[in-house]
C-alpha cells in the first residue's frame, strides 16, 4: 500500500477490524464488570482492540493503514513508553493523579504493567488522527492566522516552554495547565530547527489543520481513557488544585482541555525522533 497518497475510494473493511471490535467488547466487559485486580492486564488488549478497529475504519474510508505498516506501528508503541514515563516523572513532583489499587503490586511488577499500558498511548492517538484525516471537515482551512513565522517567535516558544515547565514544578498548585503544553513549546521549535516535521512550520503559513485534527484525536481518546477507567481496578484518580468540582467520570470537566495540547506534545515528541506522523497525504 502506498503510504504517500490518500486513497479517495472506499475500501473493504479489513478482517482485523472485526478482531479489534471483539477484543474491545470483551475487554471492556472485563474492565467494567470483572472482579478483583484485572485492569493491569486487560488495559493493553482493550486498547489493542481500539487500535485495530479504528485503523480498520480509517482503511475503509481510504486512508493508509498504520497497523499493516509494522515498522511504523512498532515505533509508535516503543516511543509511547518513554513519552508517558516523562509525564509520570513530572507527576512524581506535582501529584496531579495517582493509581489506586496499584499498591497491591511490588514495585517492579507495578512498573512492568504500567509500562505495558503506556505503550498504547501514541498508537491510539495516531490511529485516531489517521481516521479523522478521512473526514473532509478536517481537511478544510478553518484558521488562517500565522504563528511562529520569525526566528524570534520560535525562540520565544522554546523559552516559554522551559518557563512553563519550571513554573509547574515550583508552583504545582497553579501550574496544572502548563504541564500539558510546556513540552510542545520546548520541542516543536527544535523540530523546526532540525528540519523535522513541525507544527510551527505549518502554522507559520496559516495552516492549522494538523493542530485541529490532533486536538480532536487526543480529546476523543481522552474520553475513552476516562470512560473505561471509571469502573476499572486498578484505576487512576485526580487531585487537581481548585478543579475538583464537576466531573465527567474521574476527570474534572476542565481537565479535558488538557487533552487538546497533549495531542500536540505527542506529535512533537514523535517528530523529534523523525518517525513518520499521519498527515493529510499519508505519512511524513
Please report which confidence band the pLDDT of residue 108 belongs to, taking 50, 70 and 90 as the band edges: very high
User: Whole-angstrom Cα distance, residue 82 to residue 103?
Assistant: 22
Give the three-state DSSP class for 247: strand
Q: Is the pTM of this model over 0.85?
A: yes
270, 132 Cβ separation under 8 angstroms:
no
User: Structural domain of residue 264, as residue ranges?
Assistant: 15-275
Q: Does some domain include residue 111?
A: yes
As for how many domains the chain has, the answer is 1
Span 129-141, pLDDT tens digits: 999 999 999 999 9
Q: Does some domain include residue 283?
A: no
The DSSP secondary-structure symbol of 98 reads: E
Q: Does some domain include residue 1?
A: no
Q: Does some domain include residue 200?
A: yes
Q: Please compute, for residue 43, the number of CA atoms within 13 A of its CA located in the half-sphere on the CB side.
A: 27
225, 263 Cβ separation under 8 angstroms:
no
Span 2-31, pLDDT tens digits: 344 444 457 899 999 999 999 999 999 999
Q: Does some domain include residue 149?
A: yes
Nearest Cα neighbor of 123 from 86, 188, 79, 61 is 79
Q: Does some domain include residue 154?
A: yes
Residue entry with cell 471492556: 28
Span 55-100, pLDDT tens digits: 999 999 999 999 999 999 999 999 999 999 999 999 999 999 999 9
Cell of 2: 502506498
The predicted model gives 156-171 an average pLDDT of 96
Amino acid at each position: 500500500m502506498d503510504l504517500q497518497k490518500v486513497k479517495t475510494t472506499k475500501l473493504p473493511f479489513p478482517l482485523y477490524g472485526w478482531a479489534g471490535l471483539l477484543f474491545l467488547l470483551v475487554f471492556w466487559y472485563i474492565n467494567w464488570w470483572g472482579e478483583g485486580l484485572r485492569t493491569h492486564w486487560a488495559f493493553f488488549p482493550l486498547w489493542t482492540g481500539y487500535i485495530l478497529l479504528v485503523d480498520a475504519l480509517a482503511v475503509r474510508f481510504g486512508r493508509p493503514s498504520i497497523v499493516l505498516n509494522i515498522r511504523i506501528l512498532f515505533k509508535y508503541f516503543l516511543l509511547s513508553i518513554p513519552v508517558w514515563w516523562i509525564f509520570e516523572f513530572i507527576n512524581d513532583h506535582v501529584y496531579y493523579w495517582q493509581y489506586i489499587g496499584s499498591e497491591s503490586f511490588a514495585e517492579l511488577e507495578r512498573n512492568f504493567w504500567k509500562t505495558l499500558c503506556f505503550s498504547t498511548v501514541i498508537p491510539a492517538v495516531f490511529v485516531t488522527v489517521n481516521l479523522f484525516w478521512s473526514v473532509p471537515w478536517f481537511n478544510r482551512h478553518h484558521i488562517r492566522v500565522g504563528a511562529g513565522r520569525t526566528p524570534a517567535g520560535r525562540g520565544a516558544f522554546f523559552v516559554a516552554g522551559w518557563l512553563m515547565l519550571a513554573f509547574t514544578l515550583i508552583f504545582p498548585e497553579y501550574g496544572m495547565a502548563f504541564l500539558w503544553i510546556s513540552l510542545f513549546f520546548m520541542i516543536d521549535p527544535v523540530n523546526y530547527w532540525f528540519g523535522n516535521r513541525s507544527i510551527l512550520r505549518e502554522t507559520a503559513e496559516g495552516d492549522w489543520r494538523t493542530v485541529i485534527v490532533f486536538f480532536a484525536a487526543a480529546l476523543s481518546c481522552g474520553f475513552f481513557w476516562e470512560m473505561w477507567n471509571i469502573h476499572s481496578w486498578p484505576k487512576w484518580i485526580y487531585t487537581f488544585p481548585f478543579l475538583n468540582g464537576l466531573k465527567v467520570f474521574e476527570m474534572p470537566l476542565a481537565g479535558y482541555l488538557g487533552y487538546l495540547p497533549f495531542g500536540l506534545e505527542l506529535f512533537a515528541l514523535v517528530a523529534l525522533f523523525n518517525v513518520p506522523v499521519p498527515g493529510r497525504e499519508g505519512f511524513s
